[in-house]
Amino acid sequence: MWFEDLKINPLELLLSCGDPALEFFAERDLLDGSPGNISDLWLLPTVKRLLKIQNSNGSWSYKGKRPREELGENYELIETWRNIRVLIEMFGCDKRHLAIQKAAEYFFTCQTEEGDIRGILSNQYMPYYMGAILELLIKAGYEKDTRVLKGMNWLLEMRQNDGGWIIPMNMFKMQEYYSLCHKAPIPPEKERPFSHMATGMVIRCFAAHPELNKKEPAIRAGALLKSRFFRKDAYSSRQAVDYWFKFQFPFWWTNLLTAMDSLMRLEFSSDDADIQKGLDWFIEHQNSDGVWRASYQKNKFHHSDLWIVYAVCRVLKYFLN
């Protein structure tokens, strides 16, 4: 079985943690069980709290400081993405839920004629967040929506010549940001090498799509991503090797776990040498208490470490079985 090489079988931790959502997903995805109706999770207190503060237009309001709002940065866009990550990934909400419908329509109001969703980097292109937003919409059931497909076509047009992606603003020094961000969007210089941090976020929407995950662009990008395991990024944003091991669930930035999750959905094999390196790292770095640690502990949701355990086990089960 897939857990035989681990120091401790983590299934008991997950199935007795007292978190009904986590126990549901562990039983369903790791034991292939039938834990019940997923819509029952939509009635849990955390879901109700999030729904209570959703705005009528489908967004959520950002409560922190807004240092670049005058430059066109849309803080509600990032806050809305932050919250539907929780609803979709931790509670299984999909487009049958009114809150997801409203949030999706809000995202689409931020979509330009070119096809990209814009606002987190002022008026500049943001392919990495574009991929992460589309991933959630696809998981919620919008994979055939023409607006989603238009966005994915835009991502394909934004690729570097090598088949990966960059954040165009990372071609410049940070001190130039304020003078550039409100201008016309700056396209990527496509002869530059890809960024694995950016590519790892973009690729999630292709990995989640039931048809496009089998196409050459997604497989090519997956091969690029795994070729960079345990190496520094080509650009300054989140460049250090340590970022490969900073885990968070629901997923945000690219790390070893998000990359392995995408490669799993792209149906890469454990026979691949890079995949095996990733598997070996997780097997070797399981803590003595059976968990892998979340790196961002300021999480208002309980069991941050155990959600990481669940996500790791999902990957191990696929590749080791």
For 175-228, what is each residue's pLDDT tens digit? 787 788 878 999 999 999 999 999 999 999 999 999 999 999 999 999 999 999
Question: Residues 153-159: what's their mean pLDDT?
Answer: 98
Any domain includes 90: no
Any domain includes 113: no
What pLDDT sits at residue 183?
83
What pLDDT sits at residue 297?
64
What pLDDT sits at residue 300?
54
Can you give the residue range of the structural domain that contains 308? 1-19+240-321
Q: What is the pLDDT of residues 258-314, one digit of tens each?
A: 999 999 999 999 999 999 999 999 999 999 999 999 998 655 556 899 999 999 999
Between the CA atoms of 13, 14, 16 and 18, what dihedral angle is there, to the nearest 10 degrees?
120
Any domain includes 13: yes
Question: Residues 75-89: what's their mean pLDDT?
Answer: 97
What pLDDT sits at residue 69?
78
Residue-averaged pLDDT of the chain: 95
Distance CA 67, CA 220 (A): 38
What pLDDT sits at residue 142?
98
What pLDDT sits at residue 298?
56
Any domain includes 41: no
Question: Residues 251-261: what's their mean pLDDT?
Answer: 98
Residue 154 pLDDT greater than 70, yes or no: yes
| SS percent in the chain: helix, strand, coil, step 5 | 55, 0, 45
Give the number of domains in the chain. 1
Any domain includes 40: no
Distance CA 237, CA 154 (A): 23
Angle at 143 between CA 137 and CA 144, to 5 degrees: 135
Between the CA atoms of 19, 20, 26 and 32, what dihedral angle is there, to the nearest 10 degrees?
170
- Which residues neighbour 94 within 8 Å (Cβ) at sequence distance 6 or greater? 88, 100, 139, 140, 141
Any domain includes 103: no
Question: Residues 155-162: what's their mean pLDDT?
Answer: 98
Residues linked to residue 74 through DSSP beta bridges, in sequence order: none
Q: What is the pLDDT of residues 2-42, one digit of tens each?
A: 999 999 999 999 999 999 999 999 999 999 999 999 999 99
What pLDDT sits at residue 301?
57
pLDDT over 90, % of the chain? 88
Question: What sign for the dihedral angle of Cα 14, 316, 227, 265?
Answer: negative
Any domain includes 144: no
Any domain includes 299: yes
What pLDDT sits at residue 280?
97
Residue 231 pLDDT greater than 80, yes or no: yes
